């Protein structure tokens, strides 16, 4: 069969044998640079907050198990916020309990709004305040509750998309709604915003920029797949390019982020995503701004494929 021959008839015979030719798709299968399917996307909190409140009236916590609006990338499908990261906004009413369960996926929570809620992780009750980061390690029992008045909202960050590509996830429900509480607090699982902001304010450079990396007490990233950061920006941040993807949430301030050829304008409590290998920088119009983010850098580092641009 010479190269000049028509191969269309040949290709039509392959599916019957459950095979497919690599050579026409070589560039797509082994691209020269990362080619994420996700696109830069913004979720405005002022648009989503009324939808969360409506869900709080329409759906009981016991029926929903977790009353969450998933932040789904328009180029992807649930549960993908980026190709590898999931984000969702969870809403809980006073007096409610989100029943105890455990799963293979790692989860973090960034507290967006309210007070008086707690997460119970394997018996450690962790009260939440705005800006705190709460960890739920893999396969640990956890439930959520809300005391006092007013609703509570937090941002869930999980590695669920990984389990779409590698379908090895397990999940289990506890025999009761609440796991028994054995202690109050756990410094290994809660990162108070007050300490994070103190670190950011104390380490800013001449331009008012600082970068903080969340780490466990043993010095390791938050998990083997997900890492977390916070940034303080007065004017603008250095430009970055990494083959990890990011989910950003604005704690305070207004501005915009340039992501490749895209520009995302943000304000307090907004959330946006940055796909892998997109160069980006933050510019503040009303600040200083404080930004929280999580990423898949630990996964790429453990696979020995993490890379930064020049």
Q: pLDDT, tens digit, for every residue of 229-243?
A: 999 999 999 999 999
CATH topology agreement for domains 41-167+181-186 and 193-303:
yes
Quote the CA–CA distance of 240 and 144 in Å, as a whole number.
36
Assigned CATH class of 41-167+181-186: mainly beta
The C-alpha atoms of residue 225 and residue 223 are separated, in whole angstroms, by: 5
What span, in angstroms and rounded, lies between the C-alpha atoms of 287 and 223? 31
pLDDT for 159 beyond 60: yes
Going by C-alpha positions, the residue among 69, 39, 142, 163 that lies closest to residue 100 is 142
pLDDT band of residue 210 (cuts 50, 70, 90) is very high
Per-residue 3-state assignment (H helix, E strand, C coil) for 163-194: HHHCCCCCEEECCCCCCCCCEECCCCCEECHH
Predicted pLDDT at 154: 98
Digit-coded pLDDT (tens) for 31-65: 999 999 999 999 999 999 999 999 999 998 778 88
What percent of the chain stands above pLDDT 70?
99
75, 39 contact by CB (below 8 A) = yes
For the chain, the domains span: 41-167+181-186, 193-303
Q: 123-148 pLDDT, tens per residue?
A: 999 999 999 999 999 999 999 999 98
1 has a pLDDT exceeding 60: no
Provide the CATH topology of domain 193-303: Jelly Rolls (2.60.120)
pTM, full prediction: 0.94
pLDDT of residue 64: 82
């Amino acid at each position: 069969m010479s190269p000049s021959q028509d191969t269309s008839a040949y290709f039509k015979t392959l599916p019957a044998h459950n095979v497919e030719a690599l050579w026409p798709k070589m560039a797509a299968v082994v691209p020269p640079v990362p080619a994420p399917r996700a696109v830069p996307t913004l979720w405005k909190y002022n648009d989503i907050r009324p939808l969360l409140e409506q869900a709080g009236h329409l759906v009981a916590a016991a029926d929903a198990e977790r009353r969450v609006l998933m932040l789904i990338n328009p180029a992807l499908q649930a549960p993908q916020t980026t190709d590898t990261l999931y984000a969702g906004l969870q809403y809980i009413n006073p007096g409610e309990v989100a029943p105890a369960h455990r799963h293979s996926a790692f989860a973090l929570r960034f507290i967006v709004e309210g007070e008086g809620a707690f997460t119970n992780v394997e018996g450690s009750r962790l009260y939440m305040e705005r800006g705190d980061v709460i960890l739920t390690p893999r396969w640990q029992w956890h439930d959520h509750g809300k005391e006092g008045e007013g609703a509570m909202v937090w941002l869930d960050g999980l590695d669920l998309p990984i389990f779409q590509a590698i379908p090895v996830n397990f999940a289990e429900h506890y025999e009761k709604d609440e796991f028994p509480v054995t202690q109050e607090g756990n410094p290994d699982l809660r990162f108070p915003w007050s300490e994070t902001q103190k670190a950011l304010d104390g380490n800013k450079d001449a331009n008012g920029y600082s970068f903080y990396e969340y780490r466990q007490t043993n010095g390791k990233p938050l998990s083997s797949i997900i890492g977390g950061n916070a940034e303080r920006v007065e004017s603008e941040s250095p430009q970055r390019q990494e083959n990890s993807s990011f989910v950003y949430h604005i704690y305070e301030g207004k501005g915009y982020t340039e992501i490749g050829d895209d520009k995302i304008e943000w304000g307090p409590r907004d959330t946006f995503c940055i796909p892998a290998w997109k160069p980006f920088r933050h510019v503040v119009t009303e600040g200083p701004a404080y930004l929280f983010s999580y990423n898949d850098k630990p996964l790429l580092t453990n696979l020995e494929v993490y890379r930064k641009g020049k």
